[in-house]
Amino acid sequence: MSEASILSFVVGVTGHRDIPKQLCQLVEENVAAQLRSISEMFSSLPIEIVSGLAAGADTLVAEQALALGMKVTAVLPMPAEMYEADFDGEDLERFRTLLVDERVSVTELPVLDSENLDRDHQYVLLKDYLVRRSNLLIALWDGEVTGLAGGTSDVVLSYLGIETNSPNLQKLSRSSNSGDDGNLVISISTPRVWSEYADGEVGFEYLVSEGAEGCLASLIDFPKTIFDRWKNFNSYAAERFSTNGESIVSYDLFSENDPDLVAAANLLNEEFIRADQLAIQNQKRSDMLFKGFGLMAGAMGLLFLVYAKLASMKIFLVAYLVLFAAGYVLFKVGHKRAWFSKHLGYRAFAETIRIRYFLELSGCGDAVDTSGRLKLMKVNRFKGLEWIVDAARCTETLPSLKQNSRGVMETTRRWVEDQSKYFEKKVHHLHAEHERLETIKKLLFFGSFIGTLALIFFKKDLYHLKLAGFDGKTLLVFLMGLLPLWLALWELYQSKMAIRELAWQYSNQAQMFTNALRRLNELQGETCQRAIITDLADSSFAEALQWTVHRYHREHEPPTAG
């Protein structure tokens, strides 16, 4: 397993600072139990605890995670020397101990004005990062909504997509159902020092959004749909950290000067390369399967025609049955390995990383909500694709104040211009291929027409024409049976591979990138150019997901109603 990877399952942490001392042990035991349970879900995916290391909950969870051998990343809302003003006594000592622990990776959120530090704003930045980056949120919470920006309730509700200023927050208790496929919070009931329940019991509940304004649900059971989504995420990680597809040559996004603008440039590039390699590998396998089915169907049709029109020998029927059995085995193998669905998922993930990479490079990293776009396209509703919602969170990097014209120019040259040329080339290639195939179809139709005329006007003459022991009429009827078979098989293949829709998508993408390139060259000013890049990224992202969902529907047609 690669240690230099941003692909991990991130458990974000939020909670109260003032946990009653008499309850600390119970809270620690509950936290440790939850962390162990999470760890057991993932055999291939690294688990990373992300904590702001504030006194109380943040520190407690970080210490329990380290005791279990988990990776801990401390994201401080401000530089450590400024942050220390929020600590005193034993809490300060624990904070400093964690900072120097070699098992803890420490990073700091940028500060715009260190002379006039807005601490509340920095905590909101930390909240925003936890909401974007966390695959799961653990909250040590008393369930009260305080309305404090960046506070525990603000983080929990924001993560669940619930308005924090909702006047009538409601919480329902129910069992999980198939609709629970959004974000999940494990809330460990943690009274505060001043609470009348400070000596109460410590338990936990699963919280999800109820899909209505100001409404969340407390679940009795762990949501199966979320468990299945994470299981598929773990399956992707198993392939990503294996050697599968490593020999495949992949497009490289990285340039040696990129880390000056994007700290995680190299890691994002590595994730793109692996996703791209796996997408190509599974596409090749899927294409081979489709072609194999086509060849088998053609061979079966040929064998039956030979048996019916030329030679009624059992060997042809036996061969027909053998091919039928082989086709069934191939179908079962393809269904089990899910090469087609994997190709779609891995390609969508690779394109997500590509777009995020150049958004970060151009200084527009916060402009497009990746998770929001995925949810809008309902990707999490499609079996085999739902894990992308979680995997895409690895592309959410820390906020940065680095912005300069070089990033915009590099993005224009290496993404907008490059993709414009790529899609234009693909459009021309598919158009030429389409014209060639249309010519072949016309020849097949023309051949059928000529054959029909020959049977009408020269039927007797064909009887006297001998070739390889067969009369001309028999051979002509045989060939005419092959022509529609070939045509039908090719049309089936074209439909299955969605060649026409692919040409349409390439045409759309080419137009999008060409127009964006023109606007970038015509308009001056980094603000305008970043707006163009942001708009292009959003459109390109939607186009890629739309294509993925369209191909998914083509492969997984629902049963006809009625």
Residues 302 and 407 placed together within one structural domain of the fold: yes
Which range is least confidently modeled, 36-50, 115-129, 291-305?
291-305
Q: What's the pLDDT at 179?
A: 64
Residues 273 and 224 placed together within one structural domain of the fold: no
Q: Considering the domain boundaries, does residue 1 fall inside one?
A: no
CATH of the domain at 132: 3.40.50.450
Q: What's the pLDDT at 560?
A: 40
Q: Considering the domain boundaries, does residue 344 fall inside one?
A: yes
- Average pLDDT of the chain is 85
How do beta strands 136-141 and 185-189 pair?
parallel
Residues 194 and 293 placed together within one structural domain of the fold: no
Q: What's the pLDDT at 2?
A: 46
pLDDT band for position 276 (cuts 50, 70, 90) = very high
Q: What's the pLDDT at 416?
A: 97
Domain count, the chain: 2
**pLDDT over threshold 50, residue 89:** yes
Q: What's the pLDDT at 558?
A: 47
Percent of the chain with pLDDT over 90: 47
Q: Considering the domain boundaries, does residue 562 fall inside one?
A: no
**Looking at residues 480-486, what average pLDDT do you find?**
66
Expressed as residue numbers, the domain containing 107 is: 9-234
Q: Considering the domain boundaries, does residue 561 fall inside one?
A: no
Tokens representing 250 are 């992949």
**Looking at residues 172-184, what average pLDDT do you find?**
75
Residues 207 and 310 placed together within one structural domain of the fold: no
* Alpha-carbon distances of 387 from 135, 176, 489, rounded to whole Å: 11, 19, 34
Percent of the chain with pLDDT over 70: 85
Residues 226 and 265 placed together within one structural domain of the fold: no
Which range, 61-65, 115-119, 338-342, 434-438, is most confident?
Answer: 61-65
Q: Considering the domain boundaries, does residue 97 fall inside one?
A: yes
Residues 339 and 439 placed together within one structural domain of the fold: yes
Residues 191 and 289 placed together within one structural domain of the fold: no
Residues 53 and 126 placed together within one structural domain of the fold: yes
Q: What's the pLDDT at 551?
A: 74
Q: What's the pLDDT at 7?
A: 95
**Looking at residues 507-533, what average pLDDT do you find?**
93
Residues 342 and 383 placed together within one structural domain of the fold: yes
Q: Considering the domain boundaries, does residue 2 fall inside one?
A: no
Q: What's the pLDDT at 561?
A: 38
Q: What's the pLDDT at 196?
A: 59
**Looking at residues 263-274, what average pLDDT do you find?**
92
Long-range residue pairs from 480-485, CB within 8 A, at least 24 positions apart, any chain: 480/448, 480/451, 480/452, 481/305, 481/309, 482/301, 482/302, 482/305, 483/444, 483/447, 483/448, 483/451, 484/448, 485/298, 485/301, 485/302, 485/305
**Looking at residues 18-33, what average pLDDT do you find?**
94
**Looking at residues 263-275, what average pLDDT do you find?**
92
Q: What's the pLDDT at 289?
A: 85
Q: What's the pLDDT at 559?
A: 41
Residues 224 and 270 placed together within one structural domain of the fold: no
Which range is least confidently modeled, 81-85, 167-171, 268-272, 431-435?
167-171
Q: Considering the domain boundaries, does residue 251 fall inside one?
A: no
**pLDDT over threshold 70, residue 177:** no
Q: Considering the domain boundaries, does residue 256 fall inside one?
A: no
User: 110, 103, 102, 52: which is closest to 79 by C-alpha?
Assistant: 110
